[in-house]
Structure 1
Amino acid sequence: MPEQPDEPTPEPEPAETGYTPSGVPTFDSVREKIETRYGTAVGASELAAETPEGRSAEEQYDKRQRAAAERLAAIRESMKDDDAK
């Protein structure tokens, strides 16, 4: 078998660190970090909404919103009465 000439072996590419050689984060690394944090926050809020405490807080919020809407309607009605006089 004939000998092959020495071929240079390609150097492995440096591992992606998410930073430029000068230490600045790359756009891809920043985007990935933001997407990860967003996904974690969405998941946490979905899980929290499924707990008894989460449902209770949501019910309390809905109750306050209805009360506020009723109060606003009452104020508007009283203002109409004042304009008619």
Structure 2
Amino acid sequence: MTEQPGDYSEAGVPSFDFVRNKIEGRHATSVGSSELAEATPEAADVNTTMAERDKAGADRLEQIRKAMRGE
């Protein structure tokens, strides 16, 4: 049998700590990437556009509800 790194059992199964650290590392990388992406001017433009679309959608939905109630 080949020698396994210290974080694996002789059967080749990773330890709980190894798996947890790997997951936490990936999560931290994901969060950091998101934060960096949101810090760009392009992201600010997209956020502004989405906020405007959400407001327009909510306004239109309210118009439809009023029309259905007969107001």
TM-score, length-normalised on structure 1? Answer: 0.72
- Larger proportion of helix: 2
Aligned length: 67
**Equivalences for 1:1-85 in 2 at 5 Å?**
17-81=6-70
% identical aligned pairs: 45
Q: Give the aligned residue type for 2:33.
A: A
Give the counterpart letter for 2:59 in structure 1: E
Amino acid aligned to 2:19: V
Q: Could you list the structure 1 runs, at least 4 aligned residues long, displaced by more than 3 angstroms after superposition.
A: none
In structure 1, list runs of 5 or more residues that go unmatched: 1-15
Give 1:26 deviation, angstroms: 1.1
Supply the AA of the counterpart residue of 1:56.
Answer: D
Aligned Cα root-mean-square deviation (Å): 1.5
Gaps of 5+ in 2: none
Larger radius of gyration: 1
Q: Distance in 2 between matches of 1:57 and 1:25?
A: 41
How far 1:39 moved relative to its partner?
Answer: 0.6
